[in-house]
């Protein structure tokens, strides 16, 4: 059975690149220690970052992100017979977010979770294997846990990507928050096993058929089939407010992409600093930088993007704004272990 083909069939179409540009790829050569770190940013229309367009794109992607695959395929078949049913699908997806916000009013990361889903699909070609948002709205499912589980069969092994998404007022704040969450998940053996169970019992694998389904289920049975070749990677997607958007070129009749290229150049100059900060936060938390991939996604104001996302959905933003970082906080982001506000390693909670 071609397990690679089976997992790849779970990928959904996405045009993230039309809305989010890549200034530094996650696999680009770089100097020094630290995790593989990509720098992404919202695209420009001449001199204006296209926040509303990104928000509308992300809301559209929720049709894939939030619905269990089997249910979505049933909707698709029904819409072919009656196009008016598309309104019901839109309402079903919106209800998932409304229900989640009603039951978890302190959470403010739904936008980040959808963005992380898109980033991992687009940049890692890794398919979502469980609709975490739908599971979190069930009364029997815990709200905590990973923000996403994706997978790709690469070479000789299945790589499982554990997603943590963060919305933050600065890159440093988001990286620190990510490191704490990632270390906490890896230290919790019970939650770790639970995530694999969710994929096997309630994930997208049930939309596969026959030998493809059985082969995929075997690869996610880490207790019963421990010898199958697997890799595990922690993926952090940090969407944050970047103040370099405030350094603008004058508007002119020159190349239309000059403003985006100008920003990207400034952004690239911070790559080493961001990667160094990530390295120190992750090591201080007790996680492994070699098994970590990071995607920083810069926007002018993460709160503006979040509000635009909910506007596109047709509901009011349910949370307070994410605090902005001061210039001193961002300028003094840790570049060495001595500068680091250390996050203590999380103790194991195997029980």
Question: For residue 239, what are the CA distances in angstroms to 153, 170, 295, 345, 348?
Answer: 27, 9, 8, 24, 28
Whether 351 is covered by a domain: the verdict is no
The least confident of 82-91, 201-210, 236-245, 330-339 is 330-339
The Cα–Cα gap between 265 and 325 comes to 22
The Cα–Cα gap between 100 and 110 comes to 9
* pLDDT, the chain, mean: 86
Whether 156 is covered by a domain: the verdict is yes
| Structural domain boundaries enclosing 246 | 3-339
Condensed to tens digits (0 to 9), the pLDDT of residues 97-131 reads 777 666 665 555 689 999 999 999 999 999 999 88
Condensed to tens digits (0 to 9), the pLDDT of residues 64-104 reads 998 888 888 898 999 999 999 998 888 888 887 777 666 66
pLDDT of residue 346: 44
pLDDT of residue 209: 85
pLDDT value at 351 more than 50: no
Whether 346 is covered by a domain: the verdict is no
Condensed to tens digits (0 to 9), the pLDDT of residues 230-260 reads 999 999 999 999 999 999 999 999 999 999 9
The pairing of strands 230-241 and 148-154 is: unpaired
Copy the structure tokens of residue 131: 């609709």
Whether 261 is covered by a domain: the verdict is yes
Whether 102 is covered by a domain: the verdict is yes
Contact partners, residue 186, CB within 8 Å, separation at least 6:
192, 234, 287
Contact partners, residue 128, CB within 8 Å, separation at least 6:
10, 12, 64, 65, 117, 120, 121, 148, 149, 150, 204
The Cα–Cα gap between 62 and 14 comes to 11
Q: Under a CB-based contact definition with an 8 Å cutoff, are residues 100 and 136 in contact?
A: yes
pLDDT of residue 159: 95
Copy the structure tokens of residue 162: 């554990």
Structurally, the chain folds into a number of domains equal to 1
What distance separates the 2 farthest-apart alpha carbons in the chain?
Answer: 64
pLDDT of residue 185: 82
Whether 321 is covered by a domain: the verdict is yes
pLDDT value at 280 more than 90: yes
Question: For residue 50, what are the CA distances in angstroms to 21, 22, 31?
Answer: 11, 15, 32
Whether 345 is covered by a domain: the verdict is no
Q: Assign 104 to helix, strand or coil.
A: coil
Give the closest residue to 66 by CA, choosing from 136, 5, 121: 136
Whether 114 is covered by a domain: the verdict is yes
Q: What percent of the chain has pLDDT over 90?
A: 55
How long a stretch of residues is the chain? Answer: 351
Copy the structure tokens of residue 42: 């919202």
Backbone φ, ψ for residue 70 (5° rounding): -60, -40
pLDDT of residue 225: 92
Partners of 167 in the beta sheet? 239
């Amino acid at each position: 059975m071609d397990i690679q083909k089976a997992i790849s069939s779970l990928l959904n179409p996405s045009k993230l690149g039309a809305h989010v540009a890549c200034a530094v790829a996650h696999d680009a050569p770089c100097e020094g220690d630290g995790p593989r770190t990509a720098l992404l940013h919202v695209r420009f229309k001449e001199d204006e970052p296209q926040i509303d367009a990104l928000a509308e794109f992300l809301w559209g992607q929720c049709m894939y992100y939030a619905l269990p695959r089997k249910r979505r395929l049933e909707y698709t078949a029904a819409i072919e017979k009656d196009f008016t049913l598309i309104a019901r699908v839109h309402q079903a997806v919106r209800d998932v977010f409304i229900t989640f916000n009603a039951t978890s009013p302190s959470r403010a990361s739904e936008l980040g979770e959808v963005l992380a889903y898109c980033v991992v699909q687009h940049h890692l070609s890794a398919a979502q294997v469980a609709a975490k948002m739908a599971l979190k709205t069930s009364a029997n499912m815990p709200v905590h846990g990973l923000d996403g589980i994706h997978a790709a069969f690469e070479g000789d092994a299945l790589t499982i990507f554990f997603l943590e998404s963060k919305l933050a007022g600065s890159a440093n704040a988001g990286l620190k928050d990510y490191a704490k969450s990632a270390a906490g998940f890896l230290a919790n053996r019970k939650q770790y096993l639970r995530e694999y169970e969710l994929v096997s019992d309630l994930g997208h694998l049930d939309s596969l058929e026959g030998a493809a389904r059985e082969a995929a289920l075997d690869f996610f049975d880490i207790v019963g089939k421990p010898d199958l070749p697997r890799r595990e990677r922690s993926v952090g997607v940090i969407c944050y407010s970047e103040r370099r958007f405030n350094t603008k070129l004058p508007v002119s009749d020159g190349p239309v992409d000059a403003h985006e290229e100008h920003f990207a150049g400034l952004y690239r100059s911070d790559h080493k600093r961001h990667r160094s900060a990530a390295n120190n936060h992750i090591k201080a938390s007790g996680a492994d930088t070699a098994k970590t991939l990071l995607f920083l996604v810069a926007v002018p104001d993460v709160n503006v993007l979040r509000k635009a996302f909910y506007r596109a959905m047709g509901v009011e933003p349910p949370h307070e704004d994410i605090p902005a970082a001061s210039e001193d906080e961002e300028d003094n982001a840790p570049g060495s272990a001595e500068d680091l506000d250390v996050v203590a390693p999380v103790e194991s909670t195997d029980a």
